[in-house]
Amino acid sequence: MGKEFLTVKSREEVEKLIRSLPALGTETVKVVEAIGRIVAEEICAVEAVPHFARATMDGYAVRARDVFGASESLPALLRIIGSVEMGRAPDFSIGPYEAAEIATGGMLPDGADAVVMVEHTERVDEDVIEVYRPVAPGQNVLGVGEDIPAGKTVMGPGARLRPQDIGMLAAVGVTEIKVYRRPRVAVVSTGDEIVPPDTPSPLPPAVIRDINAYVLSGFAEMAGAVPGVMAHVVDDPRELIDTCRSFIEDHDVVLVSGGSSVGVRDYTLEVFEAITDGQVLVHGVAIRPGKPTIFGSGRGKYLWGLPGQPASAAMVMVALVCPFLLQIQGRSPEFPFCRSVLKGFLTKNVPSVHGREDYIPVVILPEKTDEGFVRVEPLFGRSGMISTLSEADGYIVIPEHVEGLYEDEEVKVYLL
Amino acid sequence: MGKEFLTVKSREEVEKLIRSLPALGTETVKVVEAIGRIVAEEICAVEAVPHFARATMDGYAVRARDVFGASESLPALLRIIGSVEMGRAPDFSIGPYEAAEIATGGMLPDGADAVVMVEHTERVDEDVIEVYRPVAPGQNVLGVGEDIPAGKTVMGPGARLRPQDIGMLAAVGVTEIKVYRRPRVAVVSTGDEIVPPDTPSPLPPAVIRDINAYVLSGFAEMAGAVPGVMAHVVDDPRELIDTCRSFIEDHDVVLVSGGSSVGVRDYTLEVFEAITDGQVLVHGVAIRPGKPTIFGSGRGKYLWGLPGQPASAAMVMVALVCPFLLQIQGRSPEFPFCRSVLKGFLTKNVPSVHGREDYIPVVILPEKTDEGFVRVEPLFGRSGMISTLSEADGYIVIPEHVEGLYEDEEVKVYLL
């Protein structure tokens, strides 16, 4: 609240700091359970895929030169000498003017170099087919290593595993993979006025249910973290220190909400200094909401102090904490965190102040502009309201050196 | 492959069919574990949030009329009669020219109707403050029900729970919620040439590792389903029927890949008719890849038959099966399934054929157009290649009645 020791950093400075943090460490997991995880090693194909020439159509394995110039009026005549069994190497080879039945995925016999599609043939009798179209060598065939050459690097550190990547790993026989560890995140809500969410109605006067533990834990999960314990402590520095000390033992990150403003009950900084041995890296960020944000680190563990107001705490999560959680999982994060980005046009002026970045929740209106773009309505909720954030489809960011945006101005909407 | 009994449906017809399917059923889960789940009931606030007038700033609770016209040169003088304790109802009330210390979140004493920010005051002595600015009634106060009025519907069926919604539920004291059940999905890969992914190198000739089980299971998980068993069966109708019969008992959906083309080993249709008592709803869809897709249903269970080629099977997943999985979770799905959509411009002509929808994997190039849009490179992989799909950033769709797209044409990229 303006006191001098709050030396506020710009959002860019905090981003730079976050980007310099190392990944937590690695673990080896089953590939089939690794969707969404970040690869921490280089994977090479030890053998070619496929490791034999495969038919990509149902038809006949042939020598392309034997059907050169074949047509409806002048078909090529070939003798059937066998049938390729799926999953077995043929025990015969194709000589001049010979062919063999083959199904998609079958292994080409020696001598054959192409597959004629069954639609372009006619069976004359048990042993003979007519071929009505020519094929080029290699046609309807996937050659050795044509999909993945032997020795090729199929995946490297930093890649995020999608279902199709899992398939690629299966193809090269990799069933376990080294990935970056997911951070375990504990959440502590502070405040004498906070009661657990399961406190039945009617609530006693002057208290509110804890919202931040659920919201912050949920965002952490969306950023790939493993939600850990959630707890509430009253405004007592001793109790907060003890709780944080105990949680940091089996978690990588502790998020503390409330008490980070330089208000009447500011204990968080004191606690951070106690826990992290003075390694408070950030105390104050030039963003709104979220100015009183605190970030500290020690012994490979991290503490964040977030505002107590749920909407403010959530915005700091998307602006800084979620990108931080991605960074320590070995991922190069986007700032701010979002599900996706959409272009739209503002329905109203949005005032801001030079020297800080503003995060404004917005609603996407159902009617679009004449050009088909979405119309973006800023939500100017009172601070402390949770309904504003729940109504919002996403948020916009007003850069530090801009004093506001105008109606009809183009904006990027970060969807939540 | 052109045989007459393959009566191909358009993608729109299949979409319409999928949209008519009911949700699987509901279950009650803890709110804190419900991120991403689809709400199946209406939730009303049983009491107002907040249920008392709360300060939204640190400062002094006052009667607005007592500081009317206050300024630096003519401050209002107020007597401090107490301090509001967080979490407790004040046991005093504010009379004329009286004030009480209050912190953000504190309960306004009776009589007070506004909060003066601490920055706009000066303490004259222990009992008296000077106020330098006027406040309006209600200023820096969140009134009863201003966030969520009592009785308001805060969430309805079909909503997908985001972290901020979880917070909203916490605020109104809802800790358990009825959501739609997630489908359990089993995946069966068929083919005599398939061996398990953990088969060590070097592979015997003519066989390939099972890719589809991992890929299809991964996509199902991305669409909110619970991955169940994965199995491989050889091309034997008896074994396929037995496997599907046993899996359908404790799964909602069985995906069978391979064998759905009218090729030399087409058993899938036979199996589907055996399992679903003839309720084959779809046999053939006018999409490429994916024409031989089969979809059947019986006794509230579902079977899909997908192509054996991994890239084709994956495309049918995004075009039809993932939207289907969302539909039976009570969500109104987008067709096709994707992470997000991006506008871009093609680097090459893409041929297509009138009368079917084409799904083409694409890569987003690093250099953008002069207008800042992405350049989109189609990947024309040979069928049967897994590397094409793993290299792809997403895919484009060429509509049924379009015969191809031109270089520099604008396209929507569905990101995976």
Confidence tier at B259 by pLDDT (50, 70, 90): low
A106 contacts on B by Cβ (under 8 Å): 193, 206
In chain B, % helix, strand, coil (3-state, to 5) comes to 20, 35, 45
Domain of residue B202, CATH code: 3.40.980.10
A218 contacts on B by Cβ (under 8 Å): 32, 35, 162-164, 166-167
Together in a domain, B136 and B236: no
Please provide the DSSP assignment of B108-150 as one string. Answer: PPBT--EEEEGGGEEEEETTEEEE-S---TTTTEE-TTSSB-T
- Distance from B305 to chain A by nearest Cα, in Å? 17
Lowest mean pLDDT among A19-28, A121-130, B385-394: B385-394
Together in a domain, B17 and B119: no
Together in a domain, B137 and B70: yes
Domain of residue B42, CATH code: 3.90.105.10
For residue A279, is it within any domain? yes
For residue A332, is it within any domain? no
Give how many domains chain B has, as a whole number.
4
Together in a domain, B302 and B226: yes
In 3D space, the residue among B133, B4, B16 whose CA is nearest the CA of residue B67 turns out to be B133
Taking an 8 Å cut-off on Cβ atoms, the answer to whether A103 and B221 are in contact is: no
Taking an 8 Å cut-off on Cβ atoms, the answer to whether A106 and B194 are in contact is: no
Taking an 8 Å cut-off on Cβ atoms, the answer to whether B168 and A386 are in contact is: yes
pLDDT digits (tens, 9 = 90+) for A103-113: 989 999 999 99
Last residue of a domain, one of B270, B299, B327: B327
Q: Which domain holds residue B382?
A: 340-415
pLDDT digits (tens, 9 = 90+) for B52-64: 999 998 999 999 9
- Give B228's Cβ-side CA count (13 Å radius): 19
Together in a domain, B162 and B205: no
As separate numbers, helices (DSSP H) first and strands (DSSP E) second, chain B gives 8, 28
B118 contacts on A by Cβ (under 8 Å): 1
For residue A403, is it within any domain? yes
Report strand pairing: A194-195 vs A208-209.
parallel
Taking an 8 Å cut-off on Cβ atoms, the answer to whether A390 and B54 are in contact is: no
For residue B6, is it within any domain? no
The amino acid present at A245, given as its one-letter code, is R
- Distance from A342 to chain B by nearest Cα, in Å? 9
Together in a domain, A34 and A176: yes
Together in a domain, B280 and B186: yes
Together in a domain, A176 and A202: no
For residue B1, is it within any domain? no
Nearest Cβ partner for A386 among B147, B200, B382: B147
Taking an 8 Å cut-off on Cβ atoms, the answer to whether B1 and A154 are in contact is: no
The whole-number pLDDT of residue B262 equals 45
Instruction: Give the whole-angstrom CA distance, residue A330 versus residue A327.
Output: 5
Number of other residues whose CB lies within 10 A of the CB of residue A12: 12
Last residue of a domain, one of A327, A352, A368: A327
Tokens of A93: 């080879």
Query: For chain A, what percent of residues have pLDDT higher than 90?
Result: 76
**Cis omega (within 30 of 0) on the bond before B50?**
yes
- Distance from B212 to chain A by nearest Cα, in Å? 7
Q: Chain B residue with minimal CA distance to A84?
A: B206
Mean pLDDT of the region B251-278: 72
Q: Chain A residue with minimal CA distance to B176?
A: A198
For residue B98, is it within any domain? yes
Nearest Cβ partner for B199 among A52, A107, A173: A173
Residue B312, classified by CB atoms within 10 Å of its CB into exposed (0-12), middle (13-18) or buried (19+), is buried
What is the number of CB-based contacts under 8 A between chain A and chain B? 304
Together in a domain, B221 and B320: yes
pLDDT digits (tens, 9 = 90+) for A51-64: 999 999 899 999 99
pLDDT digits (tens, 9 = 90+) for A183-238: 999 999 998 899 999 999 999 999 999 999 999 999 999 999 999 999 998 888 88
Taking an 8 Å cut-off on Cβ atoms, the answer to whether B171 and A383 are in contact is: no
| B123 close to B69: Cβ distance less than 8 angstroms | no
Instruction: Give the whole-angstrom CA distance, residue A294 versus residue A277.
Output: 14
Mean pLDDT of the region B21-27: 96
- Distance from B103 to chain A by nearest Cα, in Å? 7
Nearest Cβ partner for B56 among A201, A219, A383: A383
Together in a domain, A173 and A32: yes
Q: Chain B residue with minimal CA distance to A138?
A: B382
Tokens of A358: 């503003």
Report strand pairing: B350-351 vs B404-405.
antiparallel
Query: For chain A, what percent of residues have pLDDT higher than 70?
Result: 96
Residue B311 has pLDDT above 50, yes or no: yes
pLDDT digits (tens, 9 = 90+) for B106-134: 999 999 999 999 999 999 999 999 999 99
Confidence tier at A278 by pLDDT (50, 70, 90): low
List the end-to-end C-alpha distance of chain A, in Å, as a whole number. Answer: 29
Taking an 8 Å cut-off on Cβ atoms, the answer to whether B56 and A382 are in contact is: yes
Domain of residue A96, CATH code: 2.170.190.11
- Distance from B97 to chain A by nearest Cα, in Å? 23
- Distance from B36 to chain A by nearest Cα, in Å? 9
- Distance from B108 to chain A by nearest Cα, in Å? 9
- Distance from B186 to chain A by nearest Cα, in Å? 14
Taking an 8 Å cut-off on Cβ atoms, the answer to whether B203 and A51 are in contact is: yes
| A190 close to B340: Cβ distance less than 8 angstroms | no
The whole-number pLDDT of residue B205 equals 93
Mutate to test the interface with A, among B193, B194, B371, B379 (most CBs of A within 10 A): B193
B230 contacts on A by Cβ (under 8 Å): 32
Confidence tier at B5 by pLDDT (50, 70, 90): low
Taking an 8 Å cut-off on Cβ atoms, the answer to whether A210 and B56 are in contact is: no
Instruction: Give the whole-angstrom CA distance, residue B361 versus residue B343.
Output: 15
Per the listing, tokens 């969140």 go with B142
The whole-number pLDDT of residue B4 equals 40
Report strand pairing: B280-283 vs B287-288.
unpaired
Together in a domain, A128 and A193: no
Together in a domain, B118 and B132: yes
Which residues does residue A59 pair with via DSSP β-bridges, in sequence order?
A102, A117
| A329 close to A180: Cβ distance less than 8 angstroms | yes
Instruction: Give the whole-angstrom CA distance, residue A198 versus residue A205.
Output: 16
For residue A87, is it within any domain? yes
B389 contacts on A by Cβ (under 8 Å): 164, 167-168
Nearest Cβ partner for A173 among B172, B197, B341: B197
In 3D space, the residue among A268, A188, A199, A271 whose CA is nearest the CA of residue A231 turns out to be A188
B235 contacts on A by Cβ (under 8 Å): 86
What average pLDDT does the structure give for chain B? 91
Instruction: Give the whole-angstrom CA distance, residue B335 versus residue B355.
Output: 18
Taking an 8 Å cut-off on Cβ atoms, the answer to whether A314 and B197 are in contact is: no
For residue A120, is it within any domain? yes
Q: Is A274 in a helix, a strand, or coil?
A: helix
Report strand pairing: B76-83 vs B98-102.
parallel
Nearest Cβ partner for A218 among B166, B201, B389: B166
| B294 close to B282: Cβ distance less than 8 angstroms | yes
The whole-number pLDDT of residue A48 equals 95
The whole-number pLDDT of residue A3 equals 39
